[in-house]
Amino acid sequence: MSADNCGGNASVPLRNLLNSIQCVRDRVRDGESNESDGAFNLSNFWDTLNQAVKAVSQEATKFSLAFSKPPLPSQQDGEKLAESILKSVLTLSTVYYWLPKSQGVSLRRQVRDATVQVLEGVMQLVEVILSSPLQSLTQEQLTSTGGVWSACDQFAQLPKDNKAAVLVVLSAQSGVVKDAIEEVEQALTESQDPFSDVLDDDQEEDEARDNQDMYWSEKDRRVIGPCQGLMKASAACLRKLMSAVKMHGDVSLPQNVAQLDDLADITKELSPGIDDLALCLYPPMDCQFLEQLNRNKLVVFVYSFPHELVLCPSRSSHVCGESDLTWVQFLDGAVDHNLQKARDLIQQDS
């Protein structure tokens, strides 16, 4: 039997608990933080948050063990267990709300996402207990309990300030660009027909394939070259920005915290840009898209953002300065060269 279909009303407190945690999860996911009126002690916040996370993990373990074998807890005991785990969940969400946006939007987003993951892990555990046969500790219940532990353990890996949080964002974008570069390079080094393994190959060796638009021609490969150069320029740009943030990033002043958040938000435009560029390269190549390459988000980012970050007074940043002009000019030249080369090759083919 399960907690949901057992005799009496043992499932009632669990269903109420599930509904309550769902409401808390929704408020954390969609709500706003409390603004700090005075000085905010970030170190004290982390100490308190870690204690709250530890309490949720312990309560989830106790809760899971109570429903791991017959007999089921009585309705009264079930209510006490539900109240205890709900108290720990409410404490965690309350501590999260202490973190004001002034400490950094990037930091707060990552703490929010981690908090939501814990709450959803507890919700899943309660759902499993409500629906699983209560004959022994099921694998699903073990997995759900482990999921709560794993979500709680992630808090130890969270960035501790907005500078570190922005570096997490930059690193993720760098990974996306690196993967795209490697995928295109791998496709180029494999067979001339990258779709040969998924198409009908019951043809004689001397018979020409009837899928000429499904693999790259030599002209296509020449166009891909400068597009790869643009991808590599974006990777270089991200490496330089990450280095600049590591060296100069500051979170002691509100305007510097905001500048770091702006940097993180702008670099997020790279993911759709790199995806669009990579997809249009695969056969049949989208030459119409490539003709508008200068409008691609990746190109716009690499071509304009670092230059404005260093030289434009309205975008003056504490992260980059005139000493970074050399690498900005180098990137400008690389982007100009590859854009013009891609345009020339496309126009020749057309």
Here the CATH number for the domain that contains residue 92 is 1.20.1420.10
**pLDDT per residue over 83-109, tens digit each?**
999 999 999 999 999 999 999 999 999
* Residue 32: per-residue pLDDT: 76
pLDDT grade for 6, boundaries at 50, 70 and 90: very low
Same structural domain for residues 181 and 134? no
Report how many domains make up the chain: 2
Task: For residues 163 and 219, give the distance between their C-alpha atoms in angstroms, rounded to a whole number.
Answer: 45
Residue 5 has pLDDT above 50, yes or no: no
Task: For residues 344 and 350, give the distance between their C-alpha atoms in angstroms, rounded to a whole number.
Answer: 10
Contact 145, 242 (CB under 8 A): no
Tokens of 77: 């005991």
* Residue 56: per-residue pLDDT: 98
Which one of 158, 179, 203 terminates a domain? 158
Higher pLDDT pick, 284 / 227: 227
Q: Which of 146-155, 196-205, 238-247, 331-340 has the lowest mean pLDDT?
A: 196-205
Same structural domain for residues 142 and 273? no
**pLDDT per residue over 264-287, tens digit each?**
988 888 888 888 888 888 888 887
Which range of residues forms the domain containing residue 57? 8-158
Same structural domain for residues 171 and 320? yes
Question: What is the CB neighbour count within 10 angstroms for residue 279?
Answer: 11
**pLDDT per residue over 113-161, tens digit each?**
999 999 999 999 999 999 876 656 788 999 999 999 999 999 999 999 9
**pLDDT per residue over 207-217, tens digit each?**
445 555 667 88
pLDDT grade for 7, boundaries at 50, 70 and 90: very low
Task: For residues 244 and 293, give the distance between their C-alpha atoms in angstroms, rounded to a whole number.
Answer: 28
Which one of 116, 136, 158 terminates a domain? 158
Residue 70 has pLDDT above 70, yes or no: yes
* Residue 205: per-residue pLDDT: 45
Here the CATH number for the domain that contains residue 264 is 1.20.1410.10
Same structural domain for residues 121 and 241? no
Higher pLDDT pick, 322 / 4: 322
Task: For residues 316 and 322, give the distance between their C-alpha atoms in angstroms, rounded to a whole number.
Answer: 10
* Residue 206: per-residue pLDDT: 43
Q: What is the mean pLDDT of residues 27-48?
A: 85
**Within a domain: 1:** no
**Within a domain: 16:** yes
**Within a domain: 208:** no
Strand partners, 136: 134
Looking at residue 36, what DSSP letter applies?
A: P
Task: For residues 110 and 91, give the distance between their C-alpha atoms in angstroms, rounded to a whole number.
Answer: 18
**Within a domain: 202:** no
Same structural domain for residues 183 and 105? no
